[in-house]
Amino acid sequence: MKNQFLCIGCLAAMFALWGCGDSSSSSSDNDREDLSSEAEEVSSSSTEDESSSSIDIDIPKGARLATLNDFKDKYYSLGERYGKNIRFSVGGKHGVFALWIPDTIHVVVRSDFDNGMIQLDAEHAVPIGFMYDGKAISGAPDSLKALVSKGSSISFIVNDKDELQYSINEEDYRTLESDAVKSKGTLLSNGDSLSGKRLVCKSGDSTLVYSFYTGRYTEEVVTGKDTISWSAGYFDIQRSYLFMLPVFYNKRVAALTSGTINSEDYTFTTSSNATLPCSNEKFKYSEVKPADLVGDWASLDKKASLDWELTLSKNRGFTLSAYKGVTNVEYKVGERLPAWDVYGDVLFLKASGCLDKETCTTVIKGNITDFDKKKGFTLNHSDNDDPGLPTEWTIPVYDE
């Protein structure tokens, strides 16, 4: 079953947003392809950096920067721009945004909406996907080419009249108008309705397992008893389209996966019109809040005489070190943000630098159990490095 997923480019050639490489099928799953001829690798230097806290934004007197709470509706109109009526959607306000010309093209963006801004420049390397009538296209109408270009940004404010307004590339602010979109009864239209669900979908000789949390997802590709690959990131449903944008992954992956989900039997119809039968399985997990993981954690490997230190920063950076006495024998750092996150009870670490670059496992996925922010937690993980990452972590003991 070839070409099951939406072929989404990261558009480096057109917009110089980020580097891409050719995608390839899993070696043991010829029926499932990552499909994007422009996909990225885990080890690529094109990892996203969404921090915009240092940006100085000039706003009108009496106005303030908008927050996600200021969006009272899911869908809005930007009015006529570049000869087209451009629409904008915030969906469930979990960090997935879309610009679209109805029934023609989507531009899907993942952003943490820092300072009320969505950035489309090379520095922030925002993943962007295009869709034309549900199919991948190699280009985009001139109207959106002009918008999605190097250095583009969209800023949102609430003015002194309590009106939600936007500005593209620092032009004059315009009022954002609400827009109505009809839902389709046979399709899921609310991403939150997938939260807490697990869809197990059959794809050729493999099984695709999608676990959905609040605005986040994980995907595992399983053949037999083996997990061939996995990815995780942001998701939402907008205009009845399911959008999945990966952030963490252990193999090449399409920059955007899209399709529709039947509201009765959860059949997943991909953007290339492949139909995957899926079963809906509820699953239980004890949610761990990212804020509760921020800080320092320690682990003592008595057998190997190693002291481990893990620091998870509020800005989503991290450092991981192991010492034998005073000698540093293991070191990983995550500086391209977000370098860590937790979806439900699954922790992800994405290193941008390692002590041993040749053998380093750059992306780690682990399930957190027995979490107590005043004591510690257990981490059952995928790290195969030597020395191996500990499973038991506690709060550090400080010299008095």
Q: Is residue 383 part of a domain?
A: yes
2, 3, 4, 34: which is closest to 275 by C-alpha? 4
Domain end: 246, 265, 283, which one?
283
**CA-only gyration radius of the chain, Å:** 22
On whether both 206 and 263 belong to a single domain, the answer is: yes
* Mean pLDDT across 313-338: 95
Displacement of CA 106 from its chain's centroid (Å)? 17
The CA distance from 136 to 145, in Å, is: 16
- In the prediction, which pLDDT does 109 show? 86
Adjacent-strand bridge partners of 70? none
Of 30-39, 64-73, 205-214, give the lowest mean pLDDT range: 30-39
On whether both 66 and 133 belong to a single domain, the answer is: yes
Of 5-9, 75-79, 124-128, give the lowest mean pLDDT range: 5-9
Q: Is residue 399 part of a domain?
A: no
Q: Is residue 96 part of a domain?
A: yes
CB 362 within 8 A of CB 353: no
The CA distance from 10 to 252, in Å, is: 13
On whether both 38 and 93 belong to a single domain, the answer is: yes
On whether both 168 and 228 belong to a single domain, the answer is: yes
The CA distance from 170 to 152, in Å, is: 9
On whether both 83 and 188 belong to a single domain, the answer is: yes
On whether both 152 and 173 belong to a single domain, the answer is: yes
pTM of full prediction above 0.85: no
Q: Is residue 12 part of a domain?
A: yes
Number of domains in the chain: 2
Average pLDDT of the chain, as a whole number:
81
Q: Is residue 400 part of a domain?
A: no
Domain end: 239, 256, 283, which one?
283
How would you list the strands of the sheet with 226-238, edge to edge? 275-276, 268-270, 257-261, 241-249, 226-238, 216-223, 206-212, 197-203, 278-282
- In the prediction, which pLDDT does 147 show? 66
The CA distance from 316 to 47, in Å, is: 13
Domain end: 253, 283, 313, which one?
283
- pLDDT category at 269 given cuts 50, 70, 90 is very high
- In the prediction, which pLDDT does 146 show? 61
On whether both 321 and 271 belong to a single domain, the answer is: no
At residue 43, does pLDDT exceed 80?
no
Greater model confidence, 272 or 346: 346
37, 28, 45, 31: which is closest to 9 by C-alpha? 37
Q: Is residue 335 part of a domain?
A: yes
On whether both 274 and 341 belong to a single domain, the answer is: no
**What values do phi and psi take at 355, rounded to 5?**
-65, -40
On whether both 219 and 297 belong to a single domain, the answer is: no
User: In this structure, what DSSP letter does residue 279 have?
Assistant: E
On whether both 223 and 296 belong to a single domain, the answer is: no
- pLDDT category at 399 given cuts 50, 70, 90 is confident
On whether both 268 and 298 belong to a single domain, the answer is: no
Q: Is residue 382 part of a domain?
A: yes
State the CATH number of the domain containing residue 323. Answer: 2.40.128
- pLDDT category at 135 given cuts 50, 70, 90 is low
On whether both 348 and 220 belong to a single domain, the answer is: no
| Host domain of residue 224 | 1-283
